[in-house]
């Protein structure tokens, strides 16, 4: 029997998202009981998508500033990544359609959910829903770039698929969700 009994939840920060300290009693399969404390950062769940064009063999990615990467040695703070965002009160498919149009300017008719994953389960509660979708030039309805009131400053990139894969090897792409979706596209021969 593996059993968890939450003893105490403390809010350490409720600024942008919620950071809690959880104290719990864990009864292990061998019967041993331990009391432990862990911190968990709750930022909600999210969705991400790789847009690809089979004919042109290109993908749509974005470039934007990410403060945590800057603090951890990313000299410019900018990351090349797949479009994505937090679910808020939407379901994952509604979220990714909205985020795609806001960030990239493409209005999608169809998306395909390919998997879901915990991205940093040792400290963050978020589960991320992964999607892929084909795009064409005709689907472009705006320049994208994000939402002004959210102070998003997103550059939209259309890259050759092989170049994007090479950017993983050179370190130009270091974002986990983007690497996962590019590799998914390669394994499943989407392009």
| Residue 1 pLDDT > 70 | no
Residue 146's pLDDT is 76
Supply the pLDDT for residue 2: 66
Say what the pTM is: 0.90
List the 3-14 sheet strands across, edge first.
3-14, 18-27, 33-42
Distance, in Å, from the CA atom of 63 to the CA atom of 73, rounded to the nearest integer, reads 17
């Amino acid at each position: 029997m593996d059993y968890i009994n939450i003893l105490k939840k403390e809010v350490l920060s409720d600024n942008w998202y919620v950071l809690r300290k959880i104290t719990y009693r864990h009864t292990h399969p061998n019967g041993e009981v331990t009391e432990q404390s862990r911190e968990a950062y709750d930022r909600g769940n999210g969705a991400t998508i790789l847009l690809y064009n089979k004919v042109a063999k290109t993908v749509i990615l974005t470039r934007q500033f990410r403060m945590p990467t800057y603090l951890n040695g990313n000299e410019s703070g900018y990351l090349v990544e797949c479009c994505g965002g937090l679910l808020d009160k939407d379901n994952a498919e509604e979220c990714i359609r909205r985020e795609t149009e806001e960030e990239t300017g493409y209005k999608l008719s169809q998306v395909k959910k390919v998997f879901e994953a915990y991205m940093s389960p040792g400290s963050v509660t978020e589960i991320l829903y992964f999607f892929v979708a084909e795009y064409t030039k005709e689907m472009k309805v705006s320049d994208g770039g994000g939402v002004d009131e959210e102070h998003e400053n997103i550059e939209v990139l259309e890259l050759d698929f092989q170049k994007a894969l090479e950017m993983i090897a050179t370190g130009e792409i270091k974002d986990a969700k983007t690497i996962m979706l590019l590799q998914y596209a390669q394994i499943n021969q989407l392009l």
